[in-house]
């Protein structure tokens, strides 16, 4: 049943009242037309509940703008959602074309800070090592749109889209990301299913980070981070203090990262959220701890760059070389694949916020 405006509707009951489902909920493909966003394809999802989000087809099928009844959930940078043709991959070049949005994918063979690592697995003598910029290349790769639309599952209307993102090089990696995004009419959440495949013939390193960027007004003075963790470890020389409660924007703020030892539910699902009780709004993620064993929070309480990242990852925030040294760097053999599942959504009432907070509290931790 589709739950809308305090009522439940079967498929016939709903379609009797609308010329087509798109009157209420649907997926629409548009192309942005100005500035550095010119030419970027976007899928606009509307669930009918007031939950609206955009899939950036030409930016790795990531999630750009997302809102509930006009209230933004994610943070957007001054860069905008520039086309991948503006991408920069070396050193901190990622920041030159990072528009923010609710979700940025980082990978597929590297995430986190810059590194130089061996490239001997590709058997090309002129390239003994490879240099990796911040957060890798995938977010600046366009997708091949393989399908989108709405389908009925009994009395439930499912909005969906699928795409394939190739990250490949001659004498380098050949990785394929297959991504499916779904949302149900009447809901205020989405699900994402990823499959990363080594489509090449050489053993290839693999890292993946989901950079989930929560912004104002979910993040504001007094907002809270809800996270079930055994420990909170600062990455850097700072005192985390009460890092789970956020301040107003601060001048000259320096970013902070705190690593978690996540406690998951019995089925491996881990709930993490940020809530603003004063405004009655929150945002959350649910991920699988077996797929994404690392998690950290990126606190950026600066003026303008006022954002909190809640970030599940295949590896700890110390990066690629640390992962290799610990024996934790994933190596995909030819034809091998990994799958990842993620749920993102809005908490839109006091009872939903309280229920999510209780869900996190039941898991215990510090």
- Joined together, the tokens standing for residue 74 give 């994610």
* Backbone phi, psi, residue 134, to 5°: -55, 125
Residue extents of the structural domains in the chain: 2-362
Which residue ranges in the chain fall short of pLDDT 70?
none
Among residues 242, 108, 102, 232, which one has the least CA distance to residue 164?
Answer: 108
How far is residue 128's CA from residue 123's CA, in Å, rounded to a whole number?
Answer: 8
**Three-state secondary structure string covering 188-228:** CEEEEEEEEEECCCCCEEEEEEEEEEECCCCCCCCCEEECC
Q: What is the topology classification, in CATH, of domain 2-362? A: Beta-galactosidase; Chain A, domain 5 (2.70.98)
Tens-digit pLDDT profile for residues 122-143: 999 999 999 999 999 999 999 9
CA nearest to 317, candidates 251, 248, 257, 240: 257
> Is the CA virtual torsion 66, 25, 346, 210 positive or negative?
negative
pTM flag (> 0.85): yes
Burial 356-365 (b: 16+ CB within 10 A, else e): bbebbeebee
CB 213 within 8 Å of CB 310: no
Residue 236's CB is within 10 A of a number of other CB atoms, namely 11
Helix (H, G, I), strand (E, B) or coil at 306: strand
Strand partners, 100: 76
Indicate the average pLDDT of the chain: 97
The b-or-e profile of 143-171 (16+ CB within 10 A means b, else e) is bebeebeeeeeeebbebbbbbebebebee
Q: How far is 29 from 127, CA to CA, in rounded Å?
A: 40
Residue 83, number of CB atoms within 10 A of its CB: 20
| Integer Cα distance of 228 and 332 in angstroms | 30
Which residue has 């597929």 as its token pair? 108
Given this model, what pLDDT does residue 298 score?
A: 98
pLDDT reported for residue 239 = 87
Do residues 314 and 294 lie in contact, with contact meaning Cβ atoms separated by under 8 Å? Answer: yes
What contacts 153, CB < 8 A, 6 or more positions away? none
**Residue where the block lists tokens 């810059």:** 114
Per DSSP bridges, beta strands 41-46 and 62-68 are: unpaired
Say which residue the tokens 């209420």 belong to.
24
Contact 8, 1 (CB under 8 A): yes
Q: Distance between CA atoms of 29 and 43, rounded to whole angstroms?
A: 5
pLDDT tens, position by position, 174-217: 999 999 999 999 999 999 999 999 999 999 999 999 999 999 99
């Amino acid at each position: 049943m589709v739950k809308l405006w305090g009522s439940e509707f079967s498929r016939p009951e709903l379609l009797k009242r609308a010329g087509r489902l798109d009157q209420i909920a649907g997926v629409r493909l548009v192309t942005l037309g100005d500035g550095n966003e010119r030419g970027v394809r976007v899928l606009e999802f509307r669930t009918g509940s007031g939950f609206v989000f955009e899939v950036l087809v030409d930016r790795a099928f990531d999630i750009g703008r997302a809102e509930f009844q006009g209230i933004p959930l994610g943070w957007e940078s001054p860069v905008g959602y520039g086309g991948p043709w503006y991408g920069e991959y070396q050193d901190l070049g990622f920041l030159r074309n990072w528009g923010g949005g609710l979700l940025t994918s980082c990978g597929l063979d590297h995430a986190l800070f810059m590194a130089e690592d061996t490239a001997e697995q590709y058997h090309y003598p002129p390239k003994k090592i490879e240099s990796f910029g911040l957060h890798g290349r995938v977010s600046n790769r366009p997708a091949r749109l393989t399908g989108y639309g709405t389908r009925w599952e009994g009395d439930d209307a499912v909005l969906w889209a699928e795409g394939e993102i190739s990250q490949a090089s001659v004498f380098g990696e050949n990785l394929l990301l297959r991504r499916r995004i779904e949302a149900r009419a009447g809901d205020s959440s989405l699900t994402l299913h990823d499959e990363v495949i080594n489509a090449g013939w050489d053993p290839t390193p693999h890292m993946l980070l989901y950079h989930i960027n929560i912004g104002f007004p979910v993040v504001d003075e007094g907002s809270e981070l809800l996270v079930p963790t055994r420990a909170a470890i600062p990455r850097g020389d700072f005192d985390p203090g009460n890092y789970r409660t956020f301040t107003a924007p601060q001048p000259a703020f320096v970013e902070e990262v705190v690593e978690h030892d996540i406690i998951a539910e019995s089925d491996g699902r881990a709930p993490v959220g940020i809530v603003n009780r004063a405004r009655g709004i929150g945002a959350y993620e649910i991920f699988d701890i077996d797929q994404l064993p690392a998690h950290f929070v990126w606190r950026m309480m600066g003026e303008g760059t006022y954002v909190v990242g809640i970030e599940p990852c295949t590896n700890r925030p110390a990066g690629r070389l640390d992962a290799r040294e610990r024996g934790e760097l994933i190596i995909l053999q030819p034809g091998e694949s990994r799958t990842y599942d993620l749920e993102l959504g809005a908490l839109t009432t006091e009872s939903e916020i309280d229920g999510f907070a209780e869900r996190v509290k039941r898991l215990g931790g510090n």
